[in-house]
Amino acid sequence: MLSVIQRVSSARVEVDGETVGAIGQGLLVLVCAQPQDTAETAQRLLHKLLRLRIFEDDAGKMNRSLQNLDGQGRHGGLLLVSQFTLAADTRSGTRPGFSGAAEPAMARAWFDDLVTQARAQHPEVATGRFAADMKVHLVNDGPVTIPLNL
């Protein structure tokens, strides 16, 4: 799975003017399933997302994870958004190709599996709407933006 992680002060996803997912402080994660992904890939990604130490501690160093934002076990929000365009191949020409992204049915299955696992392991999980025309609003905190390829 390809992903782009953004540390946010807040983020929300709108579809047709309606907010379908929103979080306060936490992580907005754009996710692209690939043909070779498995349930294990989704589990590895989730493990990394929940434990990645990219939130500042009291000394201003990135030592805290989504599961321990304040050093006392306060959790941050996790907003997962499916985005096949992360697999864009721009090596030739001027129109990107997307053959590196999983077919829609497979991508939906892997994304849904990731969301199910996330909701079982983390108290605040929101999502966009798969295959919808989404408007993503965010306040990138830092800014901290990290690409991840698992």
From 85, 94, 111, 116, the catalytic residue: 85
From 34, 55, 67, 84, the catalytic residue: 84
Give CA–CA dist 3/150, Å, rounded. 8
Q: Is 72 annotated as catalytic? A: no
From 83, 90, 111, 121, the catalytic residue: 83
Q: Is 43 annotated as catalytic? A: no
Q: Is 85 annotated as catalytic? A: yes
Catalytic residues: 83-85
